[in-house]
Amino acid sequence: MTDTAPAPSFVDDRLAWWAETTPDVEAMTYLSRTWTWAEWNDRVRRAAGGLAALDIGRGDVVAFLDKNHPACVEISLAAGSLGAANAIINWRLAGDEVDYAVNDSGAKVLFVGTELMPTVEALRDRLPNVRHIIEVTPEGGEGDAYEVMLANATPMSRAAEVEPEDVCLVMYSSGTTGYPKGVMLTHANMVQHTINVHDGWVFEPGDKSMVSMPLFHVGGSSWVLFGIHDGVPSVMTRDPDAASLAGAIMAGAVVTFLVPAVLAQVLQGGPDAIALFGRLKLYLYGAAPMPLPLLRAALAAWPNTKFMQVYGLTEVAGVVTHLMPAAHRDAAHPERLVSAGQPVPGCEVRIVDPDTLKDVPVGGHGEVWLKTPQLMKGFLGKPEETAKVITEDGWFRTGDMGRVDDEGFVFVEDRLKDMIISGGENIYSPEIERVLAEHPAVMEVAIIGIPDERWGETVKAVVSLRPDAKASEDELIGWCRKSLAAFKCPKSVDILEMLPRNPTGKILKRELRRPYWEGHDRKIV
């Protein structure tokens, strides 16, 4: 699309622009409701007034806990316009994890979807900082406290003191030390991400964007900004299930970003499902690697669809490299299908020896370091953790290991961080190990990721038991389910007499992973 709008500085700039220049054009569709740009902008301005009336101002945090809902985007934009931030909480988390994230964020107001209210009510007395809990219903009907707040609020424009470097989003990333960390993303981070990642692809007149990635994931909250930036209508689904995705496509959505596991489901869904997804013009995928056999099957099934792979991290607001559509169908370079593509504009990449901290030669293996204006302000309330990953001269240590070829294609091959990526969810082993180690029968435990055709990886626990103790696989998995979200819990458990260790006593996860990853195009070692 031709973009004549002024360059944005804040995440809500473009929404205001389209509300002024194309007020009656469709902006957002969700379930049975549709809003024009003028209507949607009015809701955001009223949300800002409602938050201000609740004494939310610059430097404050509110939190949102629900499945996908435009209200989450509205609160992000509204809070940002006040100099405050929205901490979007993963609705799949268990109660103890919700408790931790809400308290860690310091949220004064908590917006909660109706389905999640029982979870919040059960832990209400453990949320001392939360002054107000506001319920949000999917359809916005009678009894929706959020809609009442909007109706009673006085619309408010952006506060004069707000700056582009103010934090507007807090996204929780699973923790290498056993607890999640709040990633602080600024207006400038999010605006630069939208501009940089728009390199090489465009919305065309009549296009609609499908927003189906969870908004608690940076892939969801970053993706929704593309439609807002370009003035393109978005169709948001509450869930990323097959029926919802099909409904969005039938409503006209032709461009989307989703995890690879969705493609696997569609390919297994039969000819009708494959034909329907063939309506997509552009399919961006990421958040988890796509197994090469699945990618080849997708390219064959949808010859007219453009595919773009993206690689990134929450700490850089989303995407930092992309494998463009032409590279997906470049017969001369099939090896690039397993690469993460080339850096987006404004992003520099180094490959560094993690021991010597010196750059390795082209093609050499090392840690991926990034420098980009998309880089987070830091981890909320954790300056020491921030200093571990951001160097004094502004380079971000990703913890991912890989190489760069002579044409700048980045290959992410394994990682320093003890992380499993399953269906786009980042799962850190220490979180699960911390819980499983508390089982009375467990002597030692290692959590590893093993290959899975649908999800990319699944979680496996490898444990040894205390002398004379007994515990079954089902019992150990059930123990985890009491404290962790289901997607983090092991899907299988191996019980060994002793876990392999190096001479210094460190458990050799490399040895535990090796038999599962042999013969795979992508290896995690």
Q: What is the per-residue pLDDT for 495?
A: 93
Strand partners, 135: 112
Spatial distance between the Cα atoms of 313 and 494, rounded to a whole number of angstroms: 31
Q: Are 276 and 246 in contact (CB under 8 A)?
A: yes
| Distance of alpha carbon 210 from the chain centroid | 16
Judged by phi (left if over 0) then psi (alpha if -120 to 50, else beta), residue 143 lies in: left
361 contact partners, CB below 8 Å, separation of at least 6: none
Q: What is the per-residue pLDDT for 504?
A: 46
Spatial distance between the Cα atoms of 46 and 29, rounded to a whole number of angstroms: 19
Spatial distance between the Cα atoms of 198 and 195, rounded to a whole number of angstroms: 5
* Torsion of Cα atoms, 105 then 111 then 117 then 119, to 10°: -10
CA atoms within 13 A of residue 264's CA, in its CB half-sphere: 16
DSSP three-state, residue 299: helix
User: Splitting the chain (525 residues) into consecutive groups of 10 residues, what average pLDDT does each group show?
Assistant: 80 98 98 98 98 98 98 98 97 90 97 96 96 97 94 96 98 72 97 97 95 95 98 96 94 94 84 95 85 86 96 96 96 91 97 93 93 98 96 95 93 75 80 86 89 88 89 95 92 91 66 82 52
CA angle (398 as vertex; 411, 240 as ends), nearest 5? 80
Q: Are 524 and 447 in contact (CB under 8 A)?
A: no
Report how far apart, in Å, the C-alpha atoms of 5 and of each of 9, 42, 81, 192, 223 are.
12, 19, 19, 15, 19
**Structure tokens, 454:** 């649908």
Spatial distance between the Cα atoms of 345 and 520, rounded to a whole number of angstroms: 32
Report how far apart, in Å, the C-alpha atoms of 146 and of each of 36, 70, 121, 175 are.
19, 12, 17, 32
Strand partners, 181: 173
Q: What is the per-residue pLDDT for 506?
A: 62
**Structure tokens, 406:** 């002579």
Task: Tell me which amino acid residue 470 is.
Answer: K
DSSP three-state, residue 462: strand
Q: What is the per-residue pLDDT for 2?
A: 45
Q: What is the per-residue pLDDT for 522?
A: 54
pTM beyond 0.75: yes
| Distance of alpha carbon 212 from the chain centroid | 11
Q: What is the per-residue pLDDT for 525?
A: 46
Spatial distance between the Cα atoms of 19 and 5, rounded to a whole number of angstroms: 12
What domains can you pick out in the chain, each with its CATH number? 13-310 (3.40.50.12780), 318-325+334-415 (2.30.38.10), 419-517 (3.30.300.30)
Q: What is the per-residue pLDDT for 524?
A: 52
Question: Hey, how many other C-beta atoms are within 10 angstroms of the C-beta on 29?
Answer: 21
**Structure tokens, 239:** 């869930």
169 contact partners, CB below 8 Å, separation of at least 6: 76, 80, 85, 86, 87, 88, 184, 185, 190, 221
